[in-house]
Structure 1
Amino acid sequence: MRNVGQHGFVGIALVILLACSGLSWAQTGGGNVPEAYLKTLPAHPRLFASADRFAALAKQSDSVSLHLKAYILHQAETLLTAERINYPTTGFKFGPMRAVQGRILTLAMTYRLTRDNRFLSRARDELLQLAALPDWAPNHFLDVGEGALAAGVGLDWLYDDLAPADREQITQAIVKNALLPSLNVPEGNGSWVDGDFNWNQVCHGGLSIGALAIAEREPELSRQIINRAIKNLPHAGAVYAPDGAYPEGPSYWSYGTTFHVLLIDALRSALGSSYSLEQFPGFLKTADFNLQVVGPSGLDFNYSDYHVETQNEPIMLWFARENHQPDLARQEIADIQTLYRSAMTGVKSPVHENRHTSLELIWWNPALGTKATGTSPLHWTSTGVLPIAVMRSSWTDPLGTFVAIKGGTPNHSHAHMDVGSFVMEADGVRWALDLGTESYDKMRAAKLDLWNYAQTSTRWTTFRVGPDGHNILRFNGAQQLIGARATVDELPVRTGAVGNSLDLTPLYADQVATAQRTVRLQPDRSVTLDDAWTTGDKPVSVAWQWLTKAKVSRIPKGLLLQQDGQTLELLFSSSGTYQIDIDDVSQARNPQDSPNPGVSRLVVRMETPARSAANLHVQLVPGSVARQQLNQTLPHR
């Protein structure tokens, strides 16, 4: 979604990454697609796989491929009797466009593998219904990108088996409803054309795939669309530098990065070159980010505008293949097995199908094998546009301790006022929560300036988006400063403890002189959280926030959290006096807010005089660690 605030940090990041590489974009492979390329295109199918490649996929017999093919066939069979998609006549077409894309990919892939005309017939029906629409909702251009991808892949994969009149209708729909309307959107104003957010990748990716599908019919128009994508994708690619973290959060990481990968693979298969769109610093590392932000419980570090993710993640197989890194495929292979078992047994799956699952058959490399190497680090820090740190005690223990914390700025697409916020889990429970995003529909209904990231924007009055709903420090109840940014630095290992420090001073520059937050994962799986601040000429009221679904009770040195048969002690100490409040935040506070069932907010309140220093130390002791410590102190018999 468009960021109407300043784009300074990202612009600087792009300049720095190109300067530090010592190469211009043209030197790294960017530039124009030569006119001759679109006159010597491979035959259809040419998007993602050729006819020979599809034939080889039909014979691929490793267990992952067999399970994928069985699952895709099962899904295609169910689509044969599915009701027609209902496209709204006005407003957004986002959901229906994604739905038809998934249907066409599944049906067309199944037809390529089986040559069963039932799947061809239903895929044709879906394509022609899409092509017959008067428009693809250009007022919300993501819908156009989704529709262009659906029509382009369907036309390409089924080209030889569609009647000439069908091909013509689909081709003209791509031109009229996607390619030509896109030329009405100017460059240079932070729109999807040259923005630094997921819309750039989705719209350029979908449009370019549509253009590649019809390039022999519309060579100049297609070349214009593809060259514009190659020119402008660096704006979105810059945000991955240098380590792969994604500022818009895991949900939009999946969306934007998937279409980035789709564009790379489509260009490779159709034109023989990716134009180095995978070579942005940090891009090939970004699958490590996706791996790292998932805790032992299976829950993401759900910062920014996060929507609950229960789908599989097909592009992890692409990254595993691209990087020759089996670890990246581990969770996706497990999700494929879950989907397969559900399809074969009829038992409801906890994993929901991603609409791009059919492409996994193309992206899966059986030579990688399914055995993970366990080489991913237990402590991972990413700098760049979104500084973030993740610490865990184990990759294999589902009861292990996991802490993830973010820096950065509230002034970015889909960002929250959550700099310095963290999540923490241990013994299989997520004790410190991020509530994710609020419903966009509810925020629109409340007439909020939803995509305005200015300091006074009504966006920040939403509980889950503003400062009230995050695990952060507060001074005088004020907001964090929109134009500020916090860094995340990795600390030296100290007596086996790993950790990171965040300089939060810029976020609170109008409230305190300095503010620091430090988090460490100890060798015994406990965690320490240290906050320190100094005041200027005025005293400040300090609030330390922690959101949880646990039952909370007071103990002599702090709080005891209880959930799912497990416990966590929060043990506090400070240079000053403090009081602990337990706020019930389960009820909606404003018209745009959703309820947060069972959620409490723990608040430690302190008063700090002018021109003084203060701190708060919190030790987080999981029940399993406390029991182990107790056993070590008991006399042996």
Structure 2
Amino acid sequence: MKDISAMLPAKPVGLGRPRGDRAAWEALAGLDAFRKIVNDAEKLAQEPIPEQPDDLFLEFSRNGNRVRWEQAEWKRRARLRTFALAECIENKGRFIKPLSEVIEALCREKTWVMPAHDGSLANFEGRVVDIDLASAALAWEMATVAWLFGNDLPPETRGRLFENVRKRVLIPFMDMVEGRRERNWWMDTTNNWNSVCLSGVVGAALAIVDSPGERAQFILAARKTSRSFLRGFGKDGYCSEGLGYWNYGFGHYVMMAETIIQATAGKVDLMDRDGVRLPAAFGARFEIMNGVYPAFADCTVGVKPGPSIMGYVSRKFGLGLGRFENEGPSAGGALFECLLFSFPNSVSGGDKAGRQGSGLEARTLFDSSGVWICRPGPSKSCRMGVAIKGGNNNEHHNHNDVGSFVVAIGSAAPLLDPGAEIYTARTFSPRRYDSGLLNSHGHPVPLVAGALQETGADARGTVLSTRFADVEDALVMDIRAAYGVKELTKLVRTFVYSRAGTGSLTVTDEVEFSTPKAFGTALITLGAWKEEQHGRLLVSDNGGFVLVDIKVEGSEFDIKAEEIREEARTPKRPTRIGIDLRTPVTRATVTLKISPDFAE
């Protein structure tokens, strides 16, 4: 600890530059991204701070609804960023008052923990002070305001800000680290909570804690505790939480690491350790084509990697992602995020990428995690790319989706994984898989003897063979273990992706039972579909069209489409196109050949 303490400045330093550094702020003020901040603040100053009565907080514990509290709270907290940036840019003093008012309002809240993370109401009732995603982020945001404005804030407001950041986050955290109280679960978990909470705690401490020795304690704790987060990635760098949570979780890990780099003059670098480089490259390697990414796990359809994070990791590790490295400063995101990426940081100023690479080689194999991305590669004619998912049904933000796939045509995904639902109390409860989006009903996988896939690590896909070549990639997967049907003796799903012509994907299911049972499979789309003739479907969405030719051996079949009646995070509810065998079978083969259609 003494070594780290000696690396730190005598006084706490936050991100960016204080309001008084006019040259630094005037340089930002001239950028397009920051020009409208002052106008936004002027309008916001005319609006009252959104009220946050107890009833809104208690709504989640009563009926599971978390949306109304979150909508009001995020509007309250966003005022910090808007007024702080506007005042730093304009420097006339007129936004100090509304900034101080929102600080005071936030300090009066009974807890900074979200209702969804306080089901017992222990924090709301003052019986305990836990740290969650929201409280850690708010602590960092408040501490950043304190660093930017110093004594320009009213003394009473500044004092309350310091007091609340300490008592709500910094003191509880160090009590956990030093064993004076039970640790919050996230300190040892391997998902995004670890990095997000740690980054908020450490960022706040480095910005407002006076003693270099105390600041060093926070860095030491973060260095040790954040190893749990890195263990949550596959050995191949795969993020099973989904791309949205890579942006969030790994993004906060990057911000924590950079904050510590700046505080220690580069002597402590959490990006320079085992287990970082491959997760850092995940965002680039996960793209199917043309900005289409699979929404596996609890991810929203259409999510893309954050440009600031991508530009940072590209420069840090020489990934050559020129399209991201050339992104300029952004006024978006949290205040601390905006400052970290808009002011010079440890990867600024070096040579930019000499190529516009984006990881779009012919394929990306996340072999240890059971995910494969197949692309046109050098083919001039192929217009299709695919993502294939095996893995198991006990992953972070898990969906029961062994054998799922996504088909991209150009910049559209007419066949897809519909992603996450709107979170409610059910989402993270024993009833999670009641959801028709999260269970296998909401994925393009078989329905076996009327049964959905099981939940758990034993419900997995086992790769039997692979073949990767210039023109064709093939993968054979045993997915029988995903179903708890005792009569099921064989279920093998084979994917064959061809780059010949305009491209195609053939998905074949071979099923066998000890006694006759029902069987079917499905496709999922957010777009339109029609049965052009028996055995041929046309599916389209956002200008991407595919033909699906269906061949079944062992039974006749019917097509039955239904809307998935869950609250999805998509503009419309997904459609499940069921392909159901008409009679029970002991043996059957179902083949779907999916190819682009440009006739439309």
TM-score range, shorter chain: 0.7 to 0.9
* Rounded Cα–Cα distance in structure 2 between residues aligned with 1:332 and 1:82: 36
* 1:615 aligned onto 2:589: yes
Amino acid at match of 1:201: S
Q: For 1:171-570, list aligned pairs within 5 A.
A: 171-182=162-173, 191-216=185-210, 220=214, 224-273=217-266, 275-279=268-272, 283-294=276-287, 298-307=291-300, 313-327=307-321, 329-330=323-324, 333=327, 356-362=337-343, 365=348, 369=352, 373-374=356-357, 376-383=359-366, 386-393=369-376, 400-441=383-424, 444=425, 448=426, 450-452=427-429, 457-481=430-454, 482-484=456-458, 485-486=460-461, 491-494=466-469, 496-508=471-483, 510=485, 511-533=488-510, 535=512, 537-548=514-525, 549-555=527-533, 557-563=535-541, 567-570=545-548
Cα displacement (A) at 1:243: 3.5
Residue of structure 2 equivalent to 1:14: none
C-alpha contact 1:241 1:280 (8 A) present in aligned 2: no
Aligned residue in 2 for 1:86:
51
- 1:403 touches 1:423 (CA, 8 Å); kept in 2? yes
Deviation of 1:469 after TM superposition, in Å, equals: 1.0
The structural deviation recorded for 1:432 is: 0.9
8 Å CA contact 1:244–1:285 kept in 2: the answer is yes
Rounded Cα–Cα distance in structure 2 between residues aligned with 1:291 and 1:87: 40
Partner Cα distance (1:464, 1:255) in 2: 22
Question: Deviations for 1:344-388, whole angstroms, at most 9, x for unmatched residues?
Answer: xxxxxxxx8676445431358465558852352333434377432
Q: Which amino acid aligns with 2:444?
A: N
Counterparts of 1:581 and 1:250, CA distance in 2: 32
Residue 551 of structure 1: how far off its partner (Å): 2.3
CA distance in 2 between counterparts of 1:334 and 1:113 reads 17
Residue type of the partner of 1:472? V
* Residues 465 and 49 (structure 1), Cα distance of their counterparts in 2 relative to 1, 3 Å cut: same
CA contact (8 A) 2:394 2:457 kept: yes
- CA positional deviation for 1:463: 0.8
Q: Which residue of 2 aligns with 1:15?
A: none
C-alpha distance in 1, partners of 2:540/2:7?
66
In structure 1, what is the Cα distance between the partners aligned to 2:416 and 2:358?
28
Does structure 1 conserve the Cα–Cα contact (< 8 Å) formed by 2:311 and 2:325?
no
Change (3 A) 1:396 1:183: farther
**Partner-residue secondary structure (3-state), 1:193:** helix
Does the aligned pair in 2 maintain the 1:462–1:593 contact within 8 Å? no
Deviates more, 1:402-411 or 1:94-103: 94-103
- What is the rounded CA distance, in whole Å, between the counterparts of 1:44 and 1:579 in structure 2? 73
Paired residues of 1:504 and 1:515 also in contact (CA < 8 A): yes
How far does residue 471 in structure 1 lie from its aligned partner after superposition?
0.8
On the 8 A contact 1:324/1:368 being kept in 2, the answer is no
Give the secondary structure class of the aligned counterpart of 1:246.
coil
- Residues 234-288 of structure 1 show CA distances to partners (whole Å, capped at 9, x for unaligned) of 1111123433321111222222122212211121122345755324655334454
How many angstroms apart in 2 are the aligned matches of 1:67 and 1:282? 37
Once the two structures are TM-superposed, the CA of residue 582 in structure 1 deviates from its matched residue by 2.5
Other-structure match for 1:25: none
Aligned equivalents of 1:315 and 1:370: distance in 2?
Answer: 15
Aligned residue for 1:572? Answer: 550
Task: Tell me which residue corresponds to 1:66.
Answer: 31
Gaps of 5+ in 2: 59-65, 119-131
Alignment partner of 1:414: what SS? coil
**1:201–1:260 CA contact under 8 A, matched in 2:** yes
State the shift of 1:523 in Å.
3.1
CA distance in 2, matches of 1:396, 1:161: 61
* CA gap 1:40/1:284 in 2 versus in 1, 3 angstroms: closer
Distance 1:269 1:566, change over 3 A: closer
Partners in 1 of 2:175 and 2:12 — Cα distance? 30
Q: Aligned with 1:535: secondary structure?
A: strand
**Counterpart-to-counterpart distance in 2, 1:505 and 1:211:** 51
Q: Hey, what's the Cα distance between the residues in 1 that align with 2:514 and 2:531?
A: 37
Cα distance per residue 1:401-457 (max 9 Å; x no partner): 23222222222332111122122121554211322222223xx3xxx4x424xxxx4
Cross-structure match for 1:27 = none
Name 2:123's counterpart in structure 1: none
The gaps in structure 1 that reach 5 residues or longer are 1-33, 340-351, 628-637
Distance between the aligned counterparts of 1:142 and 1:358, measured in 2? 20
Contact kept, 8 Å, 1:241 with 1:282, in 2: the verdict is no
Q: Which protein has the bigger strand share?
A: 2
Name the CA shift for 1:111/1:123 in 2 (closer, same or farther; >3 Å).
same
* Counterpart contact for 1:387–1:407, Cα < 8 Å: yes
- Match for residue 161 of structure 2 among 159, 162, 170: 170
1:54/1:535 Cα in 2 relative to 1: closer, same or farther (>3 Å)?
farther
Partner amino acid for 2:341?
E
Return 401-410 or 287-296, whichever deviates more.
287-296
Q: Deviations over 1:28-70 (max 9, x none)?
A: xxxxxx1464477426662334569977754769xx9933343
CA offsets per residue over residues 286-338 of structure 1, 9 Å max, x none?
454324445557554212222456796532232233234452653993996xx
Contact 1:432–1:546 (CA<8 Å) still a contact in 2? yes
**C-alpha distance in 2, partners of 1:391/1:56?**
49
Q: 295-304 or 90-99, which moves further after superposition?
A: 90-99
Secondary structure of 1:205's aligned partner: helix
Alignment partners' CA distance in 2, 1:315 and 1:182:
27
Residues 437, 503 of structure 1: alpha-carbon distance in 2 compared, 3 angstrom cutoff:
same
**How high is the sequence identity, in percent, across the aligned residues?**
20
**Contact in 2 for aligned 1:130/1:151 (Cα 8 Å):** no
**d(CA) in 2 for partners of 1:397, 1:210:** 51
User: Is 1:42 aligned to residue 9 of structure 2?
Assistant: yes
Retained in 1: the 8 A contact 2:291–2:411? Answer: no
Letter in 1 for 2:169: A
Give the TM-score of the pair, scaled to structure 1.
Answer: 0.75
Amino acid at match of 2:579: V
Residues of 2 paired with 1:125 and 1:585: CA distance?
47
Q: In 2 relative to 1, CA 77–594 (structure 1 residues): closer, same or farther, beyond 3 Å?
A: closer
Q: Do structure 1's residue 133 and structure 2's residue 109 form an aligned pair? A: yes
Q: Is the 8 A contact 1:313 1:354 kept in 2?
A: no
Structure 1 CA distance for aligned equivalents of residues 297 and 541 of structure 2: 25
Could you tell me how far apart the structure 2 residues matched to 1:547 and 1:537 are? 29
Contact 2:504 2:594 survives alignment (8 Å): yes
Q: 1:519 to 1:410 in 2, by over 3 A?
A: same
Partners of 2:500 and 2:560 lie apart in 1 by: 30
1:228: Cα distance to partner?
3.2
SS in 2 for 1:483: strand
Cα distance in structure 1, aligned partners of 2:150 and 2:381: 48
1:604 is aligned to 2:574: no
Letter in 2 for 1:171: F
CA contact (8 A) 1:586 1:595 kept: no
1:95 deviates by 5.1
SS in structure 2 at match of 1:117? coil
Q: Distance in 2 between matches of 1:476 and 1:188?
A: 47
**Change beyond 3 A, Cα 1:128–1:145:** same
